[in-house]
Amino acid sequence: MLADTDLIGAWRLVAHYYLDDDATVAEGPLGEKADGILIYHADGYMAASLMRTEPAADGATYLGSADHYLGYSGRWRLRDGEVVHDVVIGSHARVVNTEQIREVTLADGLLSLRRRLGGPHDWVVMDWQRC
């Protein structure tokens, strides 16, 4: 069982991908070389920033595009194998004042957060390594 102290600190994104229940893996929404920082503070605040670092397959511009960057911050807490982010501010209005809930595991220094999707893929997964 994870404790709050297990998550406290800064984390760097090492992988962001889609995962299906049959173990099929596909490139995530921010591309193969997505980058990000996730910070959990002991006082219960958090911040997450993720971005695409290369042009999208369709050639769309990415620098400065809200579609290629996601950032939010607020409060965090652990709950029954999940981490809950209570979003206060964010780069996309749709996440402000929501709970962003992720299944959480920590094994061999790798923090893995995943969220069940209702679309063409079953899960979106973000793997983080402590900075």
Burial of 53 (0-12, 13-18, 19+ CB in 10 A): middle
Residue found by looking up tokens 């404790």 in the block: 3
Token representation of residue 39 = 């910070």
Q: What is the pLDDT of residues 49-92, one digit of tens each?
A: 999 998 766 665 544 556 789 999 999 999 999 999 999 999 99
Q: What is the pLDDT of residues 96-120, one digit of tens each?
A: 999 999 999 999 999 999 999 988 8
Domain residues of the chain, as ranges? Answer: 4-130
Token representation of residue 24 = 């099929």
- Residues constituting the chain: 131
Q: What is the CATH number of domain 4-130?
A: 2.40.128.280
